[in-house]
């Protein structure tokens, strides 16, 4: 199979499943499995902890003993089996255990696909941006499809859609892969830079803490955005369209990121992202209605996309290339998982008091991020 097509198909199909998991899984646990918002928050919060541990320990270990192709096959099969095991389970304990297992296995597919992309960029001359953009398109398609089928057939279709998506992803993994991805991992020939060495770069500690705050602040949106729109009596048919507004603005930003604000330092981009994020959550709280929620979705280009891009630009400028994988691993575990896990629990508690408070509560991260950037941007010149 052509390297470009193989990677594009993997990105597209993985993000189809990601578009099922990320916005809908909490709502599925509540509406189909009968959990309370608080119980679902506990399960998803600890699931993010399991995801972080997997990113730091399980995925790197599996990658050392298997080829890229076999890593993808392993995590796809394991995720599919775990998803099927969800079917008969309705108890809190059973759902807790299954979600810990699923969260440790399924999200590891994202760095697995990204690692394959990096390998192909080195050996296969592929266009990463084109392939990744198809992944974003897959996410948009999934959110739209799930919103329609749940509106017609109910929330139980969320799990069946995930099982179908993982089956399709497995079918892709069983097709011939680029030769370079089937090679066994090479033996280490030299001493790699340790992860501890990252913290010798003082600006990295500050930047990491900032992105932990900014990405963690999306916890309520990712976990409660779907049920919040239900709370606003939005027709399920339209919920997917509304959630996709954020993704569309994210895609637009990423398409222009290499030419837009190119002279801005990473710290300036992070500051703008932090301000945009603060405004986003305040708007949702101050105006608890569907039109303002839709307007706030445009700020996803700042709160998520700009913060993410600023971090990637920072590590590419400030770190040696050998340390970039370590930096991305820490970023994935702490900023994208652990911080969100903690804030999911906080958001769940606030949601029980008043749904819109779950969003306002996220400024507990964004305002300190603004202060930290202002205090350190000149001192560390990042």
Closest residue by Cα to residue 173 from 300, 13, 40: 13
Contact call for residues 260 and 305 (beta carbons, < 8 A): no
Q: Is the pLDDT of residue 191 over 60?
A: no
For position 329, what pLDDT does the model report?
72
- 339 confidence band (pLDDT: 50, 70, 90): confident
Among 83-92, 93-102, 261-270, 329-338, the range scoring the smallest mean pLDDT is: 329-338
Find, among 300, 297, 317, the residue nearest to 308 by Cα: 300
pLDDT of residue 190: 42
pLDDT, residue 22, reads: 85
Cite the DSSP H helix spans in the chain: 3-31, 37-53, 59-65, 68-85, 92-105, 109-123, 128-153, 157-173, 202-216, 219-231, 236-256, 266-286, 290-297, 300, 307-318, 324-330, 339-353, 357-360, 363-380
Which has more confidence, 238 or 367? 367
Mean pLDDT of 246-256: 83
**Section 217-228 average pLDDT:** 90
- In this prediction, residues 335-344 reach a mean pLDDT of 82
Tell whether the model's pLDDT for residue 132 goes beyond 80. no
pLDDT surpasses 60 at 353: yes
pLDDT for 250 equals 84
The average confidence (pLDDT) of the chain is 87
Contact (CB, 8 A) for 46 and 168: no
pLDDT at 188: 45
Instruction: Answer yes or no: is pLDDT of 369 > 70.
Output: yes
> Is the pLDDT assigned to residue 240 strictly greater than 50?
yes
pLDDT of residue 277: 97
The answer on pLDDT for 101 being more than 50 is: yes
Residue 321 has pLDDT above 70, yes or no: no
pLDDT band per the 50, 70, 90 thresholds, residue 85:
very high
If pLDDT is split at 50, 70 and 90, which confidence band does 363 have?
Answer: very high
pLDDT at site 41: 84
Closest CA to 371 of 278, 263, 264, 266: 278
Cα torsion angle, 140, 144, 149, 154, sign = positive
128 vs 352, residue with greater confidence: 352
Residue predicted with more confidence, 12 or 112: 12
Share of the chain above pLDDT 90, in %: 46
Q: Is the pLDDT of residue 47 over 50?
A: yes
What is the value of pTM for the model shown? 0.73
Q: Which residue has the higher pLDDT, 53 or 131?
A: 53
Please determine, for residue 81, whether its predicted confidence score (pLDDT) is greater than 90.
yes
Which residue, 357, 348, 344, is CA-closest to 47?
344
Q: Please tell me the predicted confidence (pLDDT) of residue 218.
A: 94
Cα gap 24→101, rounded to integer Å: 18
Cβ–Cβ < 8 Å for 357, 351: yes
């Amino acid at each position: 199979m052509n390297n470009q097509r193989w990677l594009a198909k993997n990105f597209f199909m993985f993000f189809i499943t990601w578009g099922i998991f990320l916005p809908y899984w909490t709502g599925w646990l509540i509406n189909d499995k009968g959990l309370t918002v608080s119980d679902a928050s506990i399960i998803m919060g600890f699931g993010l902890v399991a995801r972080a541990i997997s990113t730091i320990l399980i995925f790197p270990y599996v990658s050392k003993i298997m080829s890229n192709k076999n890593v993808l096959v392993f995590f796809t099969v394991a995720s599919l089996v775990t998803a099927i095991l969800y079917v008969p389970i309705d108890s809190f304990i059973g759902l807790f255990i299954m979600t810990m297992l699923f969260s440790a296995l399924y999200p590891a597919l994202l760095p697995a696909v990204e690692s394959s992309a990096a390998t192909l960029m080195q050996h296969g001359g592929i266009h990463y941006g084109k392939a990744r953009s198809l992944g974003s398109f897959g996410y948009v398609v999934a959110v739209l499809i799930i919103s329609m089928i749940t509106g017609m057939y109910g929330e139980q279709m969320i799990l069946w859609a995930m099982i179908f998506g993982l089956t399709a992803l497995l079918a892709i993994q069983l097709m011939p892969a680029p030769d370079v991805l089937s090679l066994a991992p090479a033996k280490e020939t030299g001493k790699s830079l340790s992860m501890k060495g990252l913290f010798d770069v003082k600006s990295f500690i500050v930047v990491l803490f900032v992105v932990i705050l900014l990405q963690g602040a999306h916890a309520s949106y990712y976990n409660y955005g779907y049920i919040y729109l239900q709370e606003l009596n939005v027709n399920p048919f339209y919920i997917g369209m509304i959630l996709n507004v954020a993704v569309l603005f994210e895609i637009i930003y990423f398409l222009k990121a290499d030419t837009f604000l190119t002279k801005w330092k990473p710290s300036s981009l992070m500051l703008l992202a932090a301000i945009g994020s603060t405004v986003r959550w305040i708007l949702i709280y101050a105006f608890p209605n569907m039109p303002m929620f839709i307007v706030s979705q445009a700020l996803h280009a700042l709160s998520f996309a700009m913060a993410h891009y600023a971090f990637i630009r920072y590590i590419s400028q400030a770190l040696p290339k050998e340390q970039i994988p370590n930096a991305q691993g820490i970023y994935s575990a702490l900023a994208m998982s652990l911080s969100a896990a903690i804030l999911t629990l906080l958001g769940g508690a606030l949601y029980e008091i008043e749904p819109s408070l779950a969003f306002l509560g996220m400024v507990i991260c964004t305002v300190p991020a603004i202060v930290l950037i202002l205090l350190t941007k000149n001192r560390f010149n990042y």
